[in-house]
Amino acid sequence: MAKTLSTVDVRALLGRVVGETALNITSSTNASPSVVTIAAHGLSTDDLVFVINHATNTNLNGVRKVVAIDANTFSLTDLAGAAVNGNGVGGATGTVQRVASALRPGDLEDLAAALDKRSSAQGPFADNNRAAEASLKTIFGV
């Protein structure tokens, strides 16, 4: 039987792949594009980020590009540059992590193995995070 990864397993793996501490989302808007609020986020335009478990504005989940607005807010685009529109007013759920530009040897293989081992019914990317899984596979070629 395939191993089901816990949230802790996934965060540990993504912490190595992403390389930065997760930032807690304070809020997001149901707008075109959606605007995310995180105090002193430190992100810059064109940073790649991984949004996970934003339960109330699920369109934001996945690997995205940042469009910085100010020190506390930013909007998101998909990897092709199209705005990511809101599909609900987002309360304080989910996290954002900047994707590191330099990966250690073996990180992508670890990610591929972890994604392969997840349970289709209850893995870390279940429900609204299946888009995140597809995005990671596309970006990292796994």
Predicted local distance difference test score (pLDDT) of residue 109 = 58
d(CA 133, CA 36): 21
Predicted local distance difference test score (pLDDT) of residue 78 = 87
Predicted local distance difference test score (pLDDT) of residue 30 = 94
What does pTM read for this prediction? 0.63
At which residue do the structure tokens 């070629």 appear? 141
Predicted local distance difference test score (pLDDT) of residue 122 = 46
CATH superfamily of 1-100: Ubiquitin-activating enzyme E1, FCCH domain (2.40.30.180)
d(CA 27, CA 24): 9
Predicted local distance difference test score (pLDDT) of residue 142 = 53
Predicted local distance difference test score (pLDDT) of residue 85 = 94
Domain ranges of the chain: 1-100
Exposure string (b/e) for 67-96, b if CB count within 10 Å is 16 or more?
Answer: beeeeebbbbbeeeeeebbbebebeeebbb
Predicted local distance difference test score (pLDDT) of residue 108 = 55
Regions in the chain scoring below 70 on pLDDT: 1-19, 100-142
